[in-house]
Amino acid sequence: MADKPNVLFFFTDDQRFDTIGALNNPHIHTPTLDRLAAEGTAFTRAYIMGGSSPAVCMPSRAMLHTGRTLFHIERQGQSIPDSHVTMGEHFRRAGYRTFGTGKWHNGRASYARSFTDGARIFFGGMSQHYDVPLRDFDPTGAYEPDVIHREVKKHSSDLFADSTMDFLRDTAGDDRPFFAYVSFTAPHDPRDTHERFHALYEADKLPLPENFAPEHPFDNGELQVRDERLAPIPRTPGAVRRHLADYYAMISHADDRIGAVLDVLRQTGKYDDTIIVFAGDNGLALGRHGLMGKQNVYDHSVHVPMTLAGPGIPAGQTSDAMCYLLDIFPTLCELCGLDLPDTVDGLSLAPVLAGQAATRREMLHFAYKDLHRAVQDDRWKLIEYAVNGERTTQLFDLETDPLEMNDLAADPACDPHLARLRQELERWRTELGDTQEMGQHFWSTYDAGA
């Protein structure tokens, strides 16, 4: 097993794609992620498929860990069923020491079978950052519901980074390769962190997003969900800027802790033998289109950061290959020389990294609950809404309008694009399995409005 690279996977919560300084955001301080982008390849068009509940992070993480598409995820309560091989489970079977810390949100049983090691495990969806209900690692996998502890006065990002550094030091003399999954709860609200990171940002000096709007132009079916109530409606520039400053501060803190973990990895002498992955579980509106949350399929909510660095990965590169987070599982398998479980739907990006292919996907599909469906090709994006028995359509030319501000659905000149993308939606209905209850509700409204 000595020839197998290690894997160190950092995953953040609610971090939008455009929140890395080196990737065209001069307003945010992310020196570690900047350096990682310089050492590796950043996929600038990485996405999630959407979500089946307002807690978009739960299905997003299930897709990441199983490599399965949204409608192919089966559930046993919150847990990923045994029939879906998880990424940690697969690397564990291949002889890796597998470690998990931080947010899991996919059930205790699936965590237990995925990891040989762990610490400070959070099985929930969100919590106060200075009061996270944590579990110690249990090699028996029992994880009784009431056995939790809280480490007050220490921030979640510090806790999860500390646990990872302890694991890396523990494995320094171990010849077995490791797979370490570090899942931050930042920058999810509540956005409280150390004052030194808040001091990096003056809210009134941050620019508003170009697609800021006081309100969404129509009822998308989720205008009163929890995330949307975090700021007053109509949105105000001052409130959005304050949210953005706190959001950036949380990201800068996580960036700092990722840097500390990478410093320890260098000290162990294993840095050059480790594939480092950084990604986020979903985006966030924060004032764009008059929204605050991720309960939609606009670009700001389904577009995520994703960078890979390490052995076999070109340095200082960006790729505009369209991809999903669920493609990470097969990519790591190929880079690490592992076979691919037949339960995985994702496509390996290793050919893209090797310069053998420009992309693996020509189309992307998105869904949110029984309300929204979307399809996107290299240039055009169609969104269909089914809300209160009514159908609403949006069409965007992403080449000229990447912020999705100019709806062209009513423009006769765009009818061929509308027809083509609607045909793709129809294909998705059957081929990707959008036939579950939430699909049936959406499609009944869609068909009635045809």
pLDDT (tens digit per residue) in 382-440: 999 999 999 999 999 999 999 999 999 999 999 999 999 999 999 988 888 887 777 88
Confidence band of 205 (pLDDT split at 50, 70, 90):
very high
By percentage, how much of the chain surpasses pLDDT 70?
A: 98
Lowest mean pLDDT among 61-75, 176-190, 311-325: 61-75
Structure tokens at 142: 């029992």
Question: Sheet holding 117-122: strands in order across?
Answer: 117-122, 97-103, 178-183, 6-12, 274-280, 306-309, 40-43, 317-319
Cα–Cα nearest to 109, from 76, 133, 131: 76
Mean predicted confidence (pLDDT) in 318-337: 98
* Average of per-residue pLDDT values in the chain: 95
CA distance 269 to 255: 21
What burial letters (b/e) apply to 227-253, b meaning 16+ CB within 10 Å? bbeebebebeeebbbbbbbbbbbbbbb
Give the number of other Cβ atoms within 10 Å of residue 334's Cβ.
17
Structure tokens at 184: 């931050």
C-alpha distances in angstroms, 229 versus 160, 233, 287, 291?
Answer: 29, 8, 12, 10
Domain 6-353: which topology? Alkaline Phosphatase, subunit A (3.40.720)
What lies within 8 Å, CB to CB, of 286 at 6+ separation is: 16, 209, 240, 243, 244, 247, 292, 300
Contact criterion met (CB below 8 Å) for 91 and 338: yes
Q: Which residues pair with 391 in a beta bridge?
A: 386
Q: Within the chain, which residue ranges are assigned CATH 3.30.1120.10? A: 364-448
Structure tokens at 376: 């996107």
423 alpha carbon, distance to own chain's centre: 28
CA distance 188 to 132: 13
pLDDT tops 60 at residue 350? yes
Condensed to tens digits (0 to 9), the pLDDT of residues 227-280 reads 999 999 999 999 999 999 999 999 999 999 999 999 999 999 999 999 999 999
Instruction: Annotate the chain with three-state secondary structure.
Output: CCCCCEEEEEEECCCCCCCCHHHCCCCCCCHHHHHHHHHEEEECCEECCEECCCCCHHHHHHHHHHCCCHHHCCCECCECCCCCCCHHHHHHHCCCEEEEEEECCCCHHHHHHHCCEEEEEECCCCCCCCCCCEECCCCCCCCCCCCCECCCCCCHHHHHHHHHHHHHHHCCCCCCCEEEEEECCCCCCCCCCCHHHHCCCCHHHCCCCCCECCCCCCCCCCCCCHHHHHCCCCCCHHHHHHHHHHHHHHHHHHHHHHHHHHHHHHHCCCHHHEEEEEEECCCCCCCECCCCCCCCCCHHHHEECEEEECCCCCCCEEECCCEEHHHHHHHHHHHCCCCCCCCCCCCCCHHHHCCCCCCCCCCEEEEECCCEEEEECCCEEEEEEEECCEEEEEEEECCCCCCCCCCCCCCHHHHHHHHHHHHHHHHHHHHCCCCCHHHHHHHHHHHHCC
pLDDT tops 80 at residue 175? yes
**What is the rounded end-to-end Cα distance, in angstroms, of the chain?**
57
pLDDT tops 50 at residue 155? yes
In one-letter notation, the amino acid at residue 238 is G
Q: Within the chain, which residue ranges are assigned CATH 3.40.720.10? A: 6-353
The pLDDT assigned to 1 comes to 41
Structure tokens at 10: 């950092």
Q: Among 3.40.605.10, 3.40.50.970, 3.30.1120.10, 3.30.360.10, what is the CATH number of 364-448?
A: 3.30.1120.10
Lowest mean pLDDT among 38-42, 131-135, 160-164: 131-135
Condensed to tens digits (0 to 9), the pLDDT of residues 57-80 reads 999 999 999 999 999 988 766 689
Mean predicted confidence (pLDDT) in 13-20: 98
Peptide bond into 305 cis (omega under 30): no
